[in-house]
Amino acid sequence: MRITLGMSTDETLLNLNDQQDQINTLSQQISSGKQLNAASDNPYSWSQAMNTTQTLREYNSFLSNVNFATGWGNATESALSQFSTLLTQAKSVAESATSAVGQSQSATFASEAGGILQQAMVLANAQYNGQYIFSGTATDTQPFSMDSTTGDVTYNGNSSAIGVKTSVSGVSGGGTTAVNLAGDAVFGGSTTTAGGSNMLKDIYDLQQALSSGDSAQIGNSFTTLGNDFNQVNNQLTTIGTTMSGLTNQQTALNTMLTNEKGVLSNYQDTDVAAATVKLSTAQTAFQAALQVTTLLDKLNLASIIS
């Protein structure tokens, strides 16, 4: 097949168009910082980038859940720590009252126990972001109420766990972490705790014993409150173990997020230095091709006028 001058000119013009497209593409990649702006840019890389983006969404969702669980756990740990301190104070009052002499001292101890009871009720009904910590899944229901006449305590929550998704399903526990401790299991309520006591009622009973000067009941309260103290500390150990696991998950998720962001960057982001070199090369080639086209145009003109 004979290649004419016109055919050479056409091919050169096609090459010019291709080079101009390459220059435009490289310029856009450099200015936007993205080498993938549409699936047609690189179908394989686009597909991988979409998969990586979905993975990042999942990890961010898990991390958000872990952060929520950590906040809930911190609030629970704080409430239990303060409750433990109150029990220590109540024990101290009971111990001091056993050696107290006189009605005025008894009244002072009873008043102190009453203040402890009020604080204990507040902590047992503590909230996190407007939700009751110790109500099980009934987070909009105040967990504890007390009959001020009898000291009978009613637990209004439930014993259900609040589970949040903190990792993929294939791990132990199905990837779900229970973030709460139900109040009836911690403090007792309509029923007693695992330790066989009802802590709020125990503090109430101490206050009543102090008011009436019932030394036998005061002595019993000292022992009962000691058991309550141990029970709360056991619950603190439980929540501490959960918090430790959440911290490990948080660290792992942050590491995985960083890695996946790096993978996504490799697919999507422009290597500006490399792209700049390619752009310079393409522009040089384009200028050379323009010169060739000019020469071919002159040859075509010469053939016409000769």
| Nearest in space to 71 (alpha carbons), one of 165, 179, 185 | 179
| Nearest in space to 69 (alpha carbons), one of 236, 249, 258 | 249
Could you tell me if 269 and 35 are in contact, meaning their C-beta atoms sit under 8 angstroms apart? yes
pLDDT at residue 175, as a whole number: 78
| Residue 160, amino acid | S
Could you tell me if 143 and 247 are in contact, meaning their C-beta atoms sit under 8 angstroms apart? no
CA–CA separation, 52 and 50 (whole Å): 5
Could you tell me if 166 and 177 are in contact, meaning their C-beta atoms sit under 8 angstroms apart? yes
Task: Domain 68-247: give its CATH architecture.
Answer: Up-down Bundle (1.20)
Q: Which residues contact 282 (CB under 8 A, 6 or more apart)?
A: 19, 22, 23, 26
Distances (CA, A) of 5 to 2, 296, 297, 301, 306: 10, 8, 9, 11, 15
Distances (CA, A) of 199 to 44, 55, 216, 297: 63, 46, 18, 100
pLDDT at residue 33, as a whole number: 67
| Nearest in space to 83 (alpha carbons), one of 232, 201, 221, 239 | 232
| Nearest in space to 46 (alpha carbons), one of 32, 30, 57, 35 | 35
CA dihedral 182, 185, 189, 195 (to 10 degrees): -160
pLDDT at residue 180, as a whole number: 93
List phi, psi (to 5°) of 131.
Answer: -115, 140
pTM, rounded to two decimals: 0.75
Mean pLDDT by 10 residues, the chain (306 residues): 50 62 63 71 84 91 93 96 97 85 73 96 96 96 93 92 79 73 85 65 94 89 93 94 91 91 79 63 66 57 46
H-type alpha helices, the chain: 5-32, 43-97, 103-124, 183-186, 199-212, 215-268, 272-305
Predicted confidence (pLDDT) per residue in 174-225, tens digit:
578 899 999 999 998 655 444 457 999 999 999 999 998 888 999 999 999 9
Domains in the chain: boundaries: 5-35+269-305, 68-247
